[in-house]
Amino acid sequence: MSTVRGAAKRVTAAKRTVAEVLVAARGHLTADEITSAVQRERPEVSPSTIYRILEEFEELELVVHAHLGQPAAVYHLAGVVHGHLTCEVCQRTVEIPSSHFDALSRELLARYGFQLDRHHLALSGRCRDCRNARAGVVTPREATT
Amino acid sequence: MSTVRGAAKRVTAAKRTVAEVLVAARGHLTADEITSAVQRERPEVSPSTIYRILEEFEELELVVHAHLGQPAAVYHLAGVVHGHLTCEVCQRTVEIPSSHFDALSRELLARYGFQLDRHHLALSGRCRDCRNARAGVVTPREATT
DNA sequence: TTAGATGCAAAGACTTTGCGCACTT
DNA sequence: AAGTGCGCAAAGTCTTTGCATCTAA
C-alpha cells in the first residue's frame, strides 16, 4: 500500500538474484550474460523476465545500460559516473574517469546547448594492442579480460 | 581484369542508385531508409542487396557507418571527419566539427594508448529543446529535421 | 484476496546468409 | 562465355509483447 507513484513493486526471487549477479559482476554484462548467471541459480527464470527486471531497475535508477558499439546493450549498477572506451577491433571495453569529459562537456553545452551523458554511449577507437598489431587481421577477443 | 586485390567489382544499376541516394541525402540514413529511397526508383532491389552494397562501399572507403544509440546503424558518404551528438529523448542527431575532440583525443592517446574514432559512435545526451522540456514525457521525433 | 510478476511462446526490428538465375565485363 | 551480383526466402541475434498462471503482500 505504501507504493510510490502508483507502482506497487514486489520483491521476488528473480529480482534478488539479478541484483546479486550485478553486484557480484562489478562490470558490464549483456542481458544474455545476466540471464545465464541468474539461471545458474534459478533455471526457470526466462530472458523476458530479465529484461523486465532490468527495465524496472533502470526506472528505479539502480542500474544503467550502455551501448558499446556491439548489438547487445550492457548493464551495470548505477554508481560513479564513468565513460567507456571500446576497441573496434578486439571489442574490449575499458572504463575511464568521468573527468576526461569535463572540458568537452562544457564546450558542447555552451556551443550547442547539448547536455552530455557520459555513460550511455562508448567512445569508439583502437586500443593500444590493436594499434600495434598489423592493420589487417587481428583475432578478436583473444583475451577475455 | 584490371581489378584491385583480386576483387572484381562490377558496376550495376543497384550500386549506382545507392550511390545517388547517398549523395542526394547528404546526411545519415539507415539501411532501411536507403532501401526505401532506392526502391522508389528500382522496386526490385532487395534489402539484402542494399546491405551487401553498403558493405562493399565501406570496404572501398566510400561510405562509413555509425551507431547513434538506436538499433539501426546509419550510413553516409565518407568525407570530412565529424562527430555526432544524439539526443536520448528526441533521437535527433547533429554533426559537430571534429575539432571538438582534439583535446580529448590527445588525452586518451597519451593516457590509454587509445586511438579515438570520431565517426563511429555518437555522443549521447539531451539537446537544448529536450533539456528545456519538462523532465517527464516528451514526444520523440516531434520534428523530423 | 488481488494486483503485480513470471514463464512460455510468438512477434518484431535489424542484419546476414544460401541458392540459383541474371547481368556485367 | 565466365563469374560476379542480385532477388528471394530463410535464418540469426537481440528485445518486446501477449496471455494464462502464480505469488508476494
Q: What is the pLDDT of residues A105-128, one digit of tens each?
A: 999 999 999 999 999 999 999 999
Closest CA to B97 of B117, B120, B79, B81: B81
| Same-domain check for residues B12 and B67 | yes
Tens of pLDDT, residues A9-34: 899 999 999 999 999 998 899 999 99
- The CATH number of the domain holding residue A30 is 1.10.10.10
Considering only residues A32 and A140, tell me which one the structure prediction assigns the higher pLDDT.
A32
Q: Tell me the residues of chain A between 18 and 77 that have a Cβ less than 8 Å away from chain B.
A: 67, 69
pLDDT class of B4 with cuts at 50, 70, 90: very low
- Name which of A88, A104, A117 is nearest B88 (Cβ-Cβ): A117
Name the phi and psi angles at B88, rounded to 5. Answer: -65, -25
* Contact between the CB of A54 and strand C at under 7 Å: no
Per-residue CA distances from A64 to A42, A79, A81, B94 (Å): 23, 9, 10, 24
| Same-domain check for residues A117 and A50 | no
| Same-domain check for residues A74 and A89 | no
* Contact between the CB of A44 and strand C at under 7 Å: yes
* Contact between the CB of A10 and strand D at under 7 Å: yes
| Same-domain check for residues A25 and A38 | yes
Range of the domain at A91: 80-145
CA of B134 to C1' of C15 (A): 37
| Same-domain check for residues B39 and B66 | yes
